[in-house]
Amino acid sequence: MPLIPAEALPYLENHIYLPMLMTILERDRQLVEKVPFKLKSPYLNLLEDAMNSVTTDLQKTAVYLRQHKMKVIRQSSDELFTEYLFVHDGYEDYRRYLNVRLRNRTEELLNQYLRKLESQNFLAP
């Protein structure tokens, strides 16, 4: 029997990926502010909306983890892997994630958030 319930794993992984995504969005926002676009506001608005959506999901994740007495602790990192400790009801589960997988999954999430915003904000002619 696994120590971590299957329904909790997405929340634990969100606690890894969503802060990474926030860091990327914040850096991109800073870059867009510095680049000489003629119309910056649409790009900045898109990034701000994505950041707000990620923040909302991160808050939901934090509430879930707190209610179920779970924690995610980053343990160690090297060139290939990053190790995380998942704690649930006193049980510890160490998991290693390939750094390339972390990057690729974060990129997938970024695409999902941007597509979600695009579909919500799209104005029909």
Q: What are phi and psi of 94, to 5 degrees?
A: -90, 130
Number of other CB atoms surrounding residue 78 within 10 Å: 9
Summarize pLDDT for 59-110 with one digit per residue, the tens. Answer: 999 999 999 999 999 999 999 999 999 998 888 999 999 999 999 999 999 9
- pTM comes to 0.88
The ranges assigned to domains in the chain are: 9-119
CB-based contacts of 123, cutoff 8 Å, min separation 6: none
CA distance 80 to 99: 6
Cβ distance 107 to 115 under 8 Å?
no
Say if residue 84 is exposed, middle or buried (CB neighbours under 10 Å; 0-12, 13-18, 19+): buried
